[in-house]
Amino acid sequence: MKQTAFTAKAITKFIPALVHSRILHFGDGLSATFGMPINLARYWFTTAREVEQGHLSVPHRIALIDDDGQLTYRQLREESQTLARYLIALNLGEIRLGIMARNGRGIVCPLTAKGYAGATVFLLNIGSSPEQLAGVIAENAINVLVIDDEFLERLPADRAGLQVILGHLTGPHSGEVTLNEIVSHPDKTAETALPRFPQHGPIVLMSSGTTGIPKGVVRPEPRLPLVLAGILQKIPWHSDMSIQLTASIFHTWGWGMLNIALAARGTVVTHRIFDPAQVLEDIDTHHLQAMISSPIFLKQLLEVPEHQDFDTSSLEFILSSGNAISPTLIAAMHERFGPILCNVYGSTELTLASVASMQDLAADPTVSGQVALGTELKILDERGHEVATGVPGRIFLRNSTTLTGYTNPDIPITRAQGLVEMGDLGYLDEQGYLRVLGRVDDMIIVGGENVHPLSVTAILDQMPGLADAFAIGVDDPDAFHRIAVWVVREDNPTGAGLTAELIQDFVRQHLAEHSIPRDVHFIEELPRNATGKVVPRMLPGGD
């Protein structure tokens, strides 16, 4: 079955969606209104365009509140332009800018400078090992790197041809220039001209690879933000909102939502390190209207005792993505914050696939939402043919921000009918809602039956005394594969009493026999990467 919105239909609905959300409005004065098409032509839908437009329309509004203070749209523009001039003045030819930074101005300012200077930017995963980091720098010919000083020791000793700029400082430093030193002295590069029409290189996001050099996903900077309409159609986003951004900006999800928040001339509140109590305090203090997050962070929010008196009634919606969200977690979020949770399903390579509104999740917490406006999606079988409604298959899609390739051209891309494979299995139901079953590679066959480990994890998420769980298929000498689970107990008598037999019986009550885990491993904590995904190779006893 096919769901299509990658046509003129998407474009005709795009402007009304912006107007309805009040992101596009004409109360900003003549310079801002007439500057809109000019800035879009010059800067496309880059972070620079949103900061530039914010400077024209609301220069004194707070754009960013981070661990180092706050910046207005005018200040963020000035600092970003100063950094852009500095990069141009390095006379490197093509600017290939790497950024390895946690949330804050240490990543927001370079992202904005990228659009002003005209550059290719590489958003590096902060979990990268020294070997991976060296490989990424060499493979992609990165010649400038903005890096938080806590990651400095991971850089190779031989930095020939690499200009290093320290972003956030956690202590004293020596030798390297800092971002603050650069932006604090605009006079030093005042005579360096910024290009009137920058040559916008792609934005490259690194996969969270656990071994080897992470895949560099090459994505074009969109000329028109058509994917934005897919969000606005289902999420009650409007202009001038104050937003908590806990999603990591170096990841697709955080980067995309940062751009939308700035496009809405909002105020973004973020921190380098996630602290659930701090997040709730921010919502209370700043009367934040929205929160952009991921399931791993939402679970930690729920662990903050309710007797800690934080007023979160200002929240109009909570938007989650980055990992699968279970019906149990959705129910717990509804109980704590009300039915304001929304969910986005997508990937690093393909960004937006579907959006579930708060009404969608309240009615059925198992859906991944409807296919987003601006995205064309099909469910295909192994031969690349479309399947019927309700029949599971491989998810393929495309939109205006679909990857154009990988930085390593030897990495294959699976395509069919002009679409790119998502890597997940799922189906579209009679109402047009997408339902995701799990990763293609995760599905195993036990006793001749297909088993999706995600379904086992979702069931265990409901079990009393169980704090966290992860299921995956492992090799079996007799049946080829079997289900294994790793379980984290809650710190209470119920959790202490959990046994392998109780867990197997709980699964037996809800799922077929072939889904019952043969192996149950109890561990203190699931190994997760910086974006909250479990790293299977680090699970003990999984061989």
* Residue 277 belongs to some domain of the structure: yes
| pLDDT score at 191 | 93
DSSP 3-state assignment of 338?
Answer: coil
Q: Tokens 């995309």 correspond to what residue?
A: 256
Last residue of a domain, one of 406, 438, 470: 438
**pLDDT given at position 307:** 73
First-residue to last-residue Cα distance in the chain: 38
Q: 315 with 414, same domain?
A: yes
Residue span of the structural domain in which 37 resides: 1-43+225-438
Q: Quote the pLDDT of residue 308.
A: 80
Q: Is the pLDDT of residue 104 over 80?
A: yes
Check whether residue 486 and residue 396 sit in a common domain. Answer: no
User: In terms of residues, how long is the chain?
Assistant: 543
Residue 356: which of 235, 524, 467 has the closest Cα?
Answer: 235
Report the alpha-carbon distance of residue 360 to residue 370 in Å, rounded: 9
Alpha-helical regions (H) of 59-178: 73-89, 105-117, 130-139
Point out the least confidently predicted range of 121-135, 269-283, 431-445: 431-445
- Two structure tokens written together for 87: 């990069």
pLDDT tops 80 at residue 251: yes
Cβ atoms of residues 152 and 145 within 8 Å? no
Q: Can you count the helices (H) and strands (E) in the chain?
A: 16, 28
Q: Is residue 149 part of a domain?
A: yes
For residue 96, what are its two tokens? 């290939």
Q: What DSSP state is assigned to residue 57? A: H
Across the chain, what does the average pLDDT equal? 88
Does residue 232 share a domain with residue 100?
no
* pLDDT score, position 439: 83
Q: Are residues 252 and 329 in the same domain?
A: yes
C-alpha torsion sign, points 262, 268, 271, 275: negative
Residue 476's pLDDT band (cuts 50, 70, 90):
confident
- Among 407, 438, 469, the domain-final residue is 438
| Cβ-proximal residues to 236 (8 Å cutoff; 6+ apart), any chain | 21, 316, 317, 358
Whether residues 257 and 371 fall in one domain: yes
Asked whether residue 172 carries a pLDDT value surpassing 90, the answer given is no
Give the tens place of pLDDT for each residue, 314-372: 999 999 997 778 888 999 999 999 999 999 998 888 778 999 999 999 999 999 999 98
Task: Give the mean model confidence (pLDDT) for residues 60-71.
Answer: 97
Whole-prediction pTM value?
0.84
What one-letter code names the amino acid at 535? V
Strands (E), 141-215: 144-147, 163-166, 177-178, 203-206
Quick check: is 57 in a domain? no
Residues 249, 45 contacting (CB under 8 angstroms): no
Please, which pLDDT band fits residue 226 given cuts at 50, 70 and 90?
A: low
Q: What is the DSSP string of 267-329?
A: EEE--SS--HHHHHHHHHHHT--EEEE-HHHHHHHHTS-TTS----TT--EEEE-SS---HHH
Give the tokens for residue 150. 């806590």
Looking at the structure, tell me whether residues 171 and 138 fall in a common domain.
yes
**Does 522 lie in the same domain as 425?**
no
Task: Indicate which CATH number applies to the domain containing 486.
Answer: 3.30.300.30
204 and 243 belong to one structural domain: no
- Judge whether 63 lies within some domain: no
175 and 232 in a common domain: no
Going by the DSSP 8-state scheme, the letter that residue 433 receives in this structure is B
The residue among 204, 222, 240 that closes a domain is: 222
The yes-or-no verdict on residue 473 having pLDDT over 90 is: no
Q: Which is higher by pLDDT, 275 or 173?
A: 275
Query: Does residue 381 carry a pLDDT above 50?
Result: yes
Q: What is the mean pLDDT of residues 463-480?
A: 85
> 284 or 4, which is more confident?
284
Q: Which residue has better confidence, 193 or 7? A: 193
> What angle (nearest 5°) sits at the alpha carbon of residue 98, between those of residues 527 and 42?
125
Please enumerate in sequence order all residues whose Cβ is within 8 A of that of 351, keeping only pairs 6 or more positions apart, or say none: 219, 227, 252, 256, 399, 401, 402
Amino acid at 192: T
State whether 312 and 431 are in the same domain: yes
Q: What is the CA radius of gyration of the chain?
A: 23
Q: Which of 417, 397, 410 is nearest to 349 (CA)?
A: 397
Q: What is the pLDDT, as a whole number, of residue 463?
A: 94
Q: What is the CATH number of the domain that holds 363?
A: 3.40.50.12780
CA distance 165 to 357: 41
Q: How far apart are CA 94 and CA 242, in angstroms?
A: 36
Given a cut of 70, whether residue 10 has pLDDT beyond it is no
Cα 72 vs. chain centroid, distance in angstroms? 24
Angle (CA) 247 253 259, round 5°: 95
Contact predicate 449/431, CB 8 Å: no
Q: How many domains does the chain have?
A: 3
Whether the CB-CB separation of 203 and 221 falls below 8 Å is answered with yes
Residue 6 main-chain phi, psi, to 5 deg: -95, 50
If asked whether residues 430 and 351 sit together in one domain, one would say yes
Give the model's confidence band at 28: pLDDT under 50 very low, under 70 low, under 90 confident, else very high: low
At 311, the pLDDT band (50, 70, 90 cuts) reads very high
Asked if residue 464 and residue 377 are part of one domain, the reply reads no
Residues above pLDDT 70, as percent of the chain? 90
pLDDT band at 27 (very low <50, low <70, confident <90, very high): very low
* Rounded distance between C-alpha atoms, residue 301 and residue 177, angstroms: 37
